[in-house]
């Protein structure tokens, strides 16, 4: 017997189904807050231990071959590289002959690495260091030893053993209290490449701040999230970096009655061009 959702999928156009999800589906982003403190008070926060447990379980399934990749603790059965992100990584690798040392800021337990490990296997001298919250660092060090991944609590700690060629910040910058200060610090450090993935940006209006509510079937959490003014964001890089490539990313943020796109940006230090 055909269920109602399957029947609707057959008879309704894709665009209409997406519009109905925006109107009647889960409200991921709510509010427009004047400060981080206001948004933090409106958010319930999250149980970090539960999130780490779910991401760890999914990552171990990926490592063991029981899943192709994971995202936010959700396993996917079929390999599906994030092609624009992968191309950006490979472009940087081609400019760093013999090595690519990645500093993955906010990279959970190496989600981007595990998803693309087959395609990245041809990159000689690949190292992948993740900077994350303490729970992820502890889980990574205990359960993922012997892999190309290393885990650190701060950028300074990750840089101490030796520098990196590329900073990767994928779906992380918008969750920092002071994202512009973080970008200024990274520009000052002067890595050869800066790669931002799944960055929500818009023209015209200033940065705005919402609270993101994660559906409980993923994990119970809500926390502040920034949506960035494009011109302000790009202004951080003009003095020292050139934009090599810009691409539409796979993340789409459902905001109100519309889907808010996100962007990938690969920058190279100007003196290396």
pLDDT digits (tens, 9 = 90+) for 59-101: 999 999 999 999 989 999 999 999 999 999 999 999 998 789 9
Report if pTM > 0.85: yes
Strands 149-152 and 126-131: parallel
Q: Tell me, yes or no, whether 264 lies in a domain.
A: yes
Mean pLDDT in residue range 98-119:
96
Q: Tell me, yes or no, whether 222 lies in a domain.
A: yes
Provide the pLDDT for residue 216: 80
Mean pLDDT in residue range 11-15:
42
pLDDT digits (tens, 9 = 90+) for 154-175: 999 999 988 999 999 999 999 9
Provide the pLDDT for residue 12: 38
Give percent of the chain above pLDDT 70. Answer: 90
Provide the pLDDT for residue 255: 83
Check pLDDT > 80 for residue 10. no
Count of domains forming the chain? 1
Q: Tell me, yes or no, whether 194 lies in a domain.
A: yes
Q: Tokens at residue 116, please?
A: 């693309």
Q: Among 88-92, 221-225, 228-232, which is the least confidently predicted range?
A: 221-225
Check pLDDT > 50 for residue 16. no
Q: Tell me, yes or no, whether 31 lies in a domain.
A: yes
Check pLDDT > 70 for residue 31. yes
Q: φ, ψ for residue 106 (rounded to 5)?
A: 75, 30
Instruction: Report whether 149 contacts 130 (CB < 8 A).
Output: yes
Q: Tell me, yes or no, whether 106 lies in a domain.
A: yes
Q: What is the mean pLDDT of the chain?
A: 89
Give the range of the structural domain holding residue 115, as residue numbers without chain letter: 26-272
Provide the pLDDT for residue 18: 45
Q: How many CA atoms lie within 13 A of 140 on its CB side?
A: 24
Sign of CA dihedral 225, 230, 236, 241: positive
Q: Tell me, yes or no, whether 18 lies in a domain.
A: no
Give, as one character, the DSSP assignment of residue 207.
P
Highest-pLDDT range among 12-16, 26-30, 41-45, 117-121: 117-121
Q: How many CB atoms lie within 10 A of CB 82?
A: 22
CATH of the domain at 97: 3.40.50.150
The H or E element spanning position 31 is strand 29-33
Check pLDDT > 60 for residue 6. no
pLDDT digits (tens, 9 = 90+) for 127-148: 999 999 999 999 999 999 999 9
Q: Tell me, yes or no, whether 7 lies in a domain.
A: no
Provide the pLDDT for residue 3: 52
Q: Tell me, yes or no, whether 139 lies in a domain.
A: yes
Check pLDDT > 70 for residue 7. no
Check pLDDT > 70 for residue 1. no
């Amino acid at each position: 017997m055909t269920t109602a959702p399957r029947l609707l999928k057959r008879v309704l156009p894709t665009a209409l189904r997406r519009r109905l999800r925006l109107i009647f589906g889960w409200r991921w982003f709510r509010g427009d807050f004047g400060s981080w403190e206001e948004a933090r008070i409106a958010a319930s926060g999250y149980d970090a231990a539960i999130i780490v447990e779910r991401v760890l379980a999914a990552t171990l399934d990926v490592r063991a071959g029981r899943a192709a990749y994971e995202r936010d603790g959700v396993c996917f059965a079929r390999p599906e590289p994030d092609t624009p992100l992968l191309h950006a990584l490979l472009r940087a690798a081609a400019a760093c002959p013999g090595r690519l040392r990645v500093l993955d800021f906010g990279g959970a337990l190496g989600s981007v690495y595990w998803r693309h490990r087959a395609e990245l296997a041809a990159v000689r001298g690949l190292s992948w260091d993740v900077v994350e919250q303490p729970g992820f660092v502890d889980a990574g060090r205990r359960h993922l030893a012997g892999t190309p991944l290393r885990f650190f609590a701060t950028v300074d700690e990750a840089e101490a053993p030796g520098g990196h060629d590329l900073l990767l910040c994928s779906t992380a910058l918008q969750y920092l209290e002071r994202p512009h200060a973080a970008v200024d610090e990274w520009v000052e450090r002067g890595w050869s490449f800066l790669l931002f993935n799944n960055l929500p940006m818009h023209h015209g209006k200033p940065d705005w701040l919402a609270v993101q509510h994660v559906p409980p079937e993923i994990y119970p959490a809500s926390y502040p999230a920034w949506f960035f003014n494009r011109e302000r964001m790009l202004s951080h890089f003009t003095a020292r970096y050139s934009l090599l490539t810009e691409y539409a990313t796979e993340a789409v943020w459902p905001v109100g009655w519309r889907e808010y796109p996100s962007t990938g940006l690969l920058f190279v230090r100007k003196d290396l061009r």
